[in-house]
Structure 1
Amino acid sequence: MNADLDLLVSLNDHETPQSVAERAVRAEELGFSRVSMGETTGWNIVPALTLAAERTEHLGITNDVISPFGRSPAMLAQTALALHDASDGRFRLGLGPSSPAITERWHGLEFDRPLRRVRETIEVIRGVYEEGTPAYEGDIFQIPGLNYEREVPENPPPIDLGTLGPKATEMAGRFGDGWAPQMFTRDGLEERLEDLERGAELAGKELSDLRVSPIVRGIAAEDRERARSLARKAIAFMLGAYGPYYGNSVAEQGYPDVVSEIREAWGDRDTDAMAEALPDEVLDELSPAGTPEEVREWVADYAEVDGVDAVRIGFVNGMTEEDKETTMAALSDLV
């Protein structure tokens, strides 16, 4: 497999940030190129990222993804530069538009013009990177500016964007250094890569200048039916209960009736019916789930999409530690 293999770690699977770092160490031992983790309403992600960076030597460190509503652009730049130093330059900053639920019900802010906020946030961060100041005049941010107190590195952390829709993905190509999409079929990913390439061209870049690392969630286990049952429940939950975006995206990729039926079941909070509404065809399009050999074949095939630089593997809910080790070990054969 020519593409890299990344590991997406769920903080909720761990009792301490130190345990997250232990998973990163194991990922490095197995040959994964990069470890990433997300932040929603649980831990602040920075301690776990710092510990993972301190305990590994070559493994890339990434966050998937920080909300621009939860931290100021200047604080995001400070965070990225601190993690750059902690990891000896192995850190990539992940940003995404976030969602109404997290923005309004956790951060207490209005989910207003999210794409504009992301764009301006990137421009402020790059101002700190390039000029040593967040001084900026925009539609959302008006910042007089102070000077960054430390020397800015020659190669500051790249900025990856987690987006789904065509306009947002074009923005990722134009203003970002990488793209980390999620819940795309192979055909859907190929189509959306056209939007990414168009954005890159607007900035005078090529698609090859961006690190494309789609996220897929799956499980490898000798008990094939159990693995597929866990994956089916997890994918159905993401389509029906994770706000509108993943479901809308998969509906637009050709499965509107499936998404509608799953959402109807979620309206009754019937998670069993949600899983039953997800047919094998769609599960197989979205998730590597089955025996170790099947999962290896799925990931290797997905990695062959032209323009993909890495496949980022995440776990599904309900997996045991043995399941996680089996999944990581199975995929390490692709490295």
Structure 2
Amino acid sequence: MALKLGLAMGYWGAGPPAGIADLVAQAESLGYDSMWTAEAYGSDALTPLAWLGASTSRIRLGTSIMQMAARAPVATAMAALTLDHLSGGRFVLGLGASGPQVVEGWYGQPYPKPLARTREYVAIVRQALAREVVSLAGEHYRLPFPGGTGLGKPLRPTIHPLRRDLPILLAAEGPKNVALAAEIADGWLAMFYSPASDAYYRQALEEGFSKPGARHTRETFEVTCRVNVEFDDDVEAAADRVRPMLALYVGGMGAKGANFHYEVFARMGFEAECARVQELYLAGRKDEASAAIPLAMVEAVALVGPREKIAEELVAWRSSLVTTMLVSGDAAKLATIAELVNE
């Protein structure tokens, strides 16, 4: 399977990024397969995707990710049905559980048992996407609501789906969640994936594919992954442009002892480095935390350095599980990445 490219737009900082509409047009003209938005606790994933997607005609429109705690499952399904119609069947629904700090602190929802919660959530979404009568008596979601006035009844969407098999991708980092994605989803939204860990993730995916009722095999399963690409003749200078982001996720995204990104790098063999980065970051010494990220840790998940070095390292990505590489940058960088991937 040829490696595809997607434009990673993420979520906004203090406001809308300048020039993003032109960048989307450039990505589509370069043959990029998809464009992806995200959300944390600021800009949402759907509104920018619909706004920017309206000026495109071919590129797929994906959410990476829509946070499940932000919307009832049927609200997510309604949005997916609507945007799929408006885009002519180009929408890709990327979902994720996020983490306890956001789920409980921002959305005021409980976080425990995220895998069981995800399974029920996706089941409800699939019922709605298929225009079935939506009903579930689960541990976390119960439709109709078993209380209140007692007048609730199972309903089906009023609109007919453009695609009953609209693809659902799940964000996952831990092995159990990766296996769940292989079992119940159409693809996996990977983060901080490393080609060096390919065998580890293949095993996790195979566990999911082997479950009764699994929707896919490895050959038909999509794996998208955000990959930082930084061109520079000075490898360390290129890595310096990635280090602050890694320090944020490893050191500050999640509480001590409950940081999934930290655990990913610890499994790669960087546990001591992660501990030091987290200690510095939580102490407010963010610059020192960034400086504590070794080059090997950056190179495990990113492509940094001269064009020739990046071209050589792309070989490992082409033979990995990843089917779509999500990248960001200005128009010139997007063009250069496209040239390298298509060589």
Query: Could you tell me which residue of structure 2 aligns to residue 319 of structure 1?
Result: none
Query: Gapped runs of 5+ residues in structure 2?
Result: 145-153
> Structure 1 residues 31, 154: closer, same or farther in 2, change over 3 A?
closer
Query: Could you tell me which residue of structure 2 aligns to residue 234 of structure 1?
Result: 245
Asked if 1:253 is matched to 2:268, the reply is yes
Higher mean Cα deviation, 9-18 or 163-172? 9-18
* 2:26–2:331 Cα contact (<8 Å) kept: no
**Identity across the alignment (%):** 23
User: Aligned partners of 1:123, 1:298: CA distance in 2, in Å?
Assistant: 39
**Aligned residue type for 1:228:** A
| TM score, norm. by length of structure 1 | 0.90
User: Aligned partners of 2:100, 2:166: CA distance in 1, in Å?
Assistant: 27
Query: Could you tell me which residue of structure 1 aligns to residue 64 of structure 2?
Result: 64
Question: Of residues 304, 314, 323 in structure 2, which corresponds to 1:309?
Answer: 323
Shift in Å at residue 8 of structure 1?
A: 0.9
Asked if 1:210 is matched to 2:216, the reply is no
Shift in Å at residue 11 of structure 1?
A: 3.1
User: Aligned partners of 2:115, 2:302: CA distance in 1, in Å?
Assistant: 28
Superposed CA RMSD in Å reads 2.1
| TM score, norm. by length of structure 2 | 0.88
Asked if 1:326 is matched to 2:335, the reply is no
**Aligned residue type for 1:210:** F
The residue correspondences of 1:170-209 to structure 2 (distance < 5 A) are 170-202=179-211, 203-204=213-214, 205-209=216-220
Shift in Å at residue 212 of structure 1?
A: 1.1
User: Aligned partners of 2:222, 2:162: CA distance in 1, in Å?
Assistant: 20
User: Aligned partners of 2:271, 2:15: CA distance in 1, in Å?
Assistant: 38
Higher mean Cα deviation, 72-81 or 272-281? 272-281
Higher mean Cα deviation, 14-23 or 200-209? 14-23
Query: Could you tell me which residue of structure 1 aligns to residue 123 of structure 2?
Result: 123
Shift in Å at residue 140 of structure 1?
A: 0.9
Shift in Å at residue 222 of structure 1?
A: 5.7
Query: Could you tell me which residue of structure 2 aligns to residue 282 of structure 1?
Result: 297
Shift in Å at residue 130 of structure 1?
A: 2.2
User: Aligned partners of 1:15, 1:297: CA distance in 2, in Å?
Assistant: 37
Shift in Å at residue 221 of structure 1?
A: 4.2
* 2:178–2:204 Cα contact (<8 Å) kept: yes
Asked if 1:159 is matched to 2:168, the reply is yes
The residue correspondences of 1:16-31 to structure 2 (distance < 5 A) are 16=16, 19-31=19-31
> Structure 1 residues 17, 258: closer, same or farther in 2, change over 3 A?
closer
* 2:62–2:94 Cα contact (<8 Å) kept: yes
Displaced runs of 4 or more, over 6 A: none
Shift in Å at residue 300 of structure 1?
A: 4.3
Deviation per residue, 1:253-303 (Å, 9 max, x gap)? 211111111111113211222122111111111211223443344344313
Higher mean Cα deviation, 188-197 or 240-249? 188-197
User: Aligned partners of 1:206, 1:308: CA distance in 2, in Å?
Assistant: 14
User: Aligned partners of 1:121, 1:281: CA distance in 2, in Å?
Assistant: 38
User: Aligned partners of 2:307, 2:86: CA distance in 1, in Å?
Assistant: 35
Query: Could you tell me which residue of structure 1 aligns to residue 288 of structure 2?
Result: 273
**Aligned residue type for 1:250:** F
User: Aligned partners of 1:87, 1:273: CA distance in 2, in Å?
Assistant: 45
> Structure 1 residues 194, 150: closer, same or farther in 2, change over 3 A?
same
> Structure 1 residues 273, 126: closer, same or farther in 2, change over 3 A?
same
Shift in Å at residue 237 of structure 1?
A: 2.2
User: Aligned partners of 2:54, 2:174: CA distance in 1, in Å?
Assistant: 36
Higher mean Cα deviation, 247-256 or 145-154? 145-154
* 2:89–2:163 Cα contact (<8 Å) kept: no
Structure 1 SS opposite 2:70: coil
Higher mean Cα deviation, 23-32 or 175-184? 23-32
Shift in Å at residue 224 of structure 1?
A: 4.9
* 2:10–2:64 Cα contact (<8 Å) kept: no
Structure 1 SS opposite 2:24: helix
